[in-house]
Amino acid sequence: MLDGVRILAWGARSAVKLSATLFERSGAEVHVTDAAHIGDFGYDAIVVSSDVGTAAQRGVIAELKAAGEHVICDITATGAQGSRAGVRWSDAEIQAMTGLMDTTGFASGQPVRIGVPFTEMSAAMYACAGVASAIRVARLRGIRQNIDVTLFGCAASALTTFLPAAFTQGTAGRVGNRHPACAPWNAYRTLDGWILICTSTEEQWRKIRSVAGVPQLDDGRFATLADRVRHVDELDRLIEAWTTTLTTEACTRLCERIGVAAGPIVGVADLSREANFRLRHAFAAKQIEAHGIGRDTYRDVSVFRTQPLTADAAGALPAVSSNVERDDDAGPLAGVKVVEIGQYTTAPLVGKHLAALGAQVVKIEPPDGEIARAWVPGQGGTSYFFALNNTDKQTLSLDLRHERDRAYLRTLLASADVLVENLRPGAVAKLGFDRAALAAINPKLIYCSISGFGTESAYPGRPAFDTVIQAMGGLMDLTRSEGEPVKLGASGADILGGQAALFAIVASLVEASREAGSFIEISMQDVAAWCALFATGNPEPQGVAVACADGHVWLECDSHHAPESLKAHAMEAKCSALTRQRAVASLRAAGVRAVAVARVNELVEDGDFLADVLSVARDANGAFWPVLKVPYRLSRTPARVRAVPGAPECVCAPAVVTPQ
């Protein structure tokens, strides 16, 4: 992937450390230093974090950026401009000020800090993708540029499930382990514990209703998805009346048999005994059992695996084409062709970013369109959620049960550089597109498969949604409200899994020549476990959320203040009777680090969000849509978000279904 690339990681943020590990996994030669000064040893790229550096380090970084001799990637909390610039904001403080914290927890409880440094991890992933893109530009066009990545932008970009309500002047608060647009979707008690059950389609609902055997589930109150979301409290009570008659294992196996995503909550310390983790990461499991979880345990888990597209591939293929636009305005991936067969978040997120970076992305949708198109709110028959995740793509409708439509897909793949999909493991192969078939169609294809548990799995064929992966990857164990495990409000496993795939794909496109096509495997459980192990071995500062008259404020622990001390300061300041703004001012005057916990709907009035994150795009009919800029900014060949796709173009309409 990045063999021969030399990277220097020089910064105190966790995102810099994490990016170094990701670059190492991609084959780059990485040097990590915290020295006061650095020498020039022929690095292709230097990753820094200027906002937490010394004045002398910031001066060196400014000189490096001005010189234009390297790719310089600067990961900061909020960037160099804006109302929050110049402050060493922590991951938790960014979670609070963007509304990310307010989406995590139970509706009846307080906002909850995500138990892993989510914004640092997201920034590391995006920084790596940005650097790989810039290195490709440097090799093909001789352009070297600076990249700015902000934790604020990464946090806001993760709110695609919640922002649609804000766009329509609605509110979106904490939903615990539920999904704001799908039901049933929650953690349910069993005979011996808890199980996460997630449904998103009418077919999955019908299957759950059938096996549960609870007569009240046939009530008209649950006839449609909108009805089920409206009556979710009663629905969850009835589902739990069924799950409490089964053990967690029995309920999980039953859900797997009917094709419904489900799974138990796994503790981080118990990952070594979790069947799929142990299968895929035997060395890491043994190390955890022998030595516990240390600072570097996460390094034994890879967030992506790469292999040749086929085991018997041989023969040199042409070098990466240099027939790209020569002007500086062309995107880093100009000339790259991508086919996406995706739905919901992971593969669509990858396709969105590849398109923003200049690739031509063709999204394949089923005849009725992707399910997420119909979610509310939206406009013109398309949801804001779908628009946020699918900008700048050409959308086509294909029914891959039909040979004629499969033939059309083969034509697309023959000239493509990348195929990315997040269907259930084995689904693409059943349609006639296994790795051998793909290699026969296009021997230089980069094929990226994203799934919950990977293609080599203890659970072959088991479906998985974000919430199940959060539970089985350790994220929920680390994120707790009053001691009870709770999922990240944002689709954290989906988003981080998509980001890992994005970096792996872009890194593969950097190679000057490839002997054969490649297969990239992403297991979202791998990524979640990587994050959970890092967080356990490298704990972040703790803090407390304190109630105010109009919401909550986040108080951060430091060398002078432990949690109990912070609570005492909050009581002394009478925060419960103050607005968030006044509480923050009072606490800061007392020497306490405090920030207001924003609500997502308040972001649309936040100056930094409006200036640095929110943008506007048009669809083919001229309608305007709120969209999000990417959180990595390349100075010379920027990624751009421009258009929202309309209804998918129907290219084939065969009458006969070929049996599978």
Task: Return the closest-CA partner of residue 501 out of 450, 447, 426, 455.
Answer: 450
pLDDT at 317 over 60: no
Beta strands in 559-623 (DSSP E): 593-597, 614-618
Q: Would you tell me how many other CB atoms lie within 10 Å of the CB of residue 189?
A: 13
Beta strands in 199-279 (DSSP E): 261-263
pLDDT band at 312 (very low <50, low <70, confident <90, very high): low
Kindly report the backbone phi and psi dihedral angles of residue 590, in degrees, each rounded to the nearest multiple of 5, phi listed first: -90, 5
Instruction: Identify the helix (H) or strand (E) that includes residue 128.
Output: helix 118-141
Query: DSSP secondary-structure letter at 657?
Result: P
Task: Return the closest-CA partner of residue 502 out of 26, 79, 100, 47.
Answer: 26
Q: Sheet containing 337-341: give its strands across.
A: 305-308, 518-523, 446-451, 418-421, 337-341, 360-365, 394-397, 649-650
Sign, CA dihedral 437-443-448-452, equals positive
Instruction: Identify the helix (H) or strand (E) that includes residue 447.
Output: strand 446-451
Q: At what angle do helices 524-537 and 118-141 cross, to 10 degrees?
A: 120
Asked which of 74-78, 231-235, 423-427 is least confident by mean pLDDT, the reply is 423-427
Task: Return the closest-CA partner of residue 634 out of 308, 146, 104.
Answer: 146
- Report how far apart, in Å, the C-alpha atoms of 139 and of each of 1, 70, 95, 134, 336 are: 14, 12, 37, 9, 15
Spatial neighbors of 579 by CB under 8 A, at least 6 apart, are: 548, 549, 550
Task: Return the closest-CA partner of residue 384 out of 86, 49, 627.
Answer: 627
Distance CA 302, CA 167 (A): 37
CB 95 within 8 A of CB 101: yes
pLDDT band at 321 (very low <50, low <70, confident <90, very high): very low
Distance CA 71, CA 51 (A): 18
CB 256 within 8 A of CB 262: yes
What is the distance of C-alpha 406 from the center of its chain? 30
Q: Looking at residue 319, what is its pLDDT?
A: 40
Task: Return the closest-CA partner of residue 110 out of 395, 503, 486.
Answer: 486
Distance CA 351, CA 369 (A): 16
Q: Looking at residue 318, what is its pLDDT?
A: 40
CB 68 within 8 A of CB 26: no
Q: Looking at residue 512, what is its pLDDT?
A: 55
Cis peptide before 184 (omega within 30 of 0): yes
Q: At what angle do helices 118-141 and 14-25 cross, to 10 degrees?
A: 50
Residue 358 — left, alpha, or beta (φ > 0 → left; ψ -120 to 50 → alpha)? left
Query: Can you tell me which residue has the tokens 């899994």?
Result: 497
Distance CA 137, CA 131 (A): 10
pLDDT band at 314 (very low <50, low <70, confident <90, very high): very low
Beta strands in 457-592 (DSSP E): 480-481, 484-485, 518-523, 543-548, 551-556
The distance in angstroms from the start CA to the end CA of the chain is: 36
Percent of the chain topping pLDDT 90: 87
Q: What is the mean pLDDT of residues 434-463?
A: 94
Partnered with residue 624 across adjacent β-strands are: 618
Angle at 410 between CA 462 and CA 403, to 5 degrees: 75
Distance CA 195, CA 255 (A): 10
Distance CA 169, CA 311 (A): 54
pLDDT band at 446 (very low <50, low <70, confident <90, very high): very high
Q: Would you tell me how many other CB atoms lie within 10 Å of the CB of residue 60?
A: 18
The per-residue pLDDT for range 507-556, each reduced to its tens digit, is: 999 975 666 899 999 999 999 999 999 999 999 999 999 999 999 999 99
R_g of the chain computed on alpha carbons = 24
pLDDT band at 323 (very low <50, low <70, confident <90, very high): very low
CB 87 within 8 A of CB 76: no
Residue 101 — left, alpha, or beta (φ > 0 → left; ψ -120 to 50 → alpha)? alpha
Q: What is the mean pLDDT of residues 301-315?
A: 81
Query: DSSP secondary-structure letter at 321?
Result: P
The per-residue pLDDT for range 45-58, each reduced to its tens digit, is: 999 999 999 999 99
Instruction: Identify the helix (H) or strand (E) that includes residue 364.
Output: strand 360-365
CB 334 within 8 A of CB 340: no
Which tokens sit at 254?
């039953």
Q: What is the mean pLDDT of the chain?
A: 93
Asked which of 96-105, 247-256, 293-302, 310-319 is least confident by mean pLDDT, the reply is 310-319
Q: What is the mean pLDDT of residues 457-464?
A: 89
Q: Looking at residue 96, what is its pLDDT?
A: 98
Domain 6-165 has CATH 2.40.10.340: no
CB 470 within 8 A of CB 492: yes
C-beta contacts of 223-228 below 8 A and 24+ residues apart: 225/181, 225/182, 225/183, 226/376, 228/183, 228/184
Q: What is the mean pLDDT of residues 450-456?
A: 95
Query: DSSP secondary-structure letter at 319?
Result: B
Q: Which residues are catalytic?
A: 494
Which residue intervals of the chain bear CATH 3.40.50.10540?
6-165
The per-residue pLDDT for range 107-125, each reduced to its tens digit, is: 999 999 999 999 999 999 9
Query: DSSP secondary-structure letter at 601?
Result: G
Asked which of 39-43, 191-195, 583-587 is least confident by mean pLDDT, the reply is 39-43
The per-residue pLDDT for range 373-389, each reduced to its tens digit, is: 998 899 999 999 999 99
Kindly report the backbone phi and psi dihedral angles of residue 256, in degrees, each rounded to the nearest multiple of 5, phi listed first: -65, -40
pLDDT band at 170 (very low <50, low <70, confident <90, very high): confident
The per-residue pLDDT for range 273-301, each reduced to its tens digit, is: 999 999 999 999 999 999 999 999 999 99
Query: Can you tell me which residue has the tokens 């390297």?
Result: 70
Q: What is residue 373's three-state secondary structure? A: helix
pLDDT band at 636 (very low <50, low <70, confident <90, very high): very high
Q: What is the mean pLDDT of residues 203-230?
A: 95
pLDDT band at 315 (very low <50, low <70, confident <90, very high): very low
Higher pLDDT, 513 or 492: 492
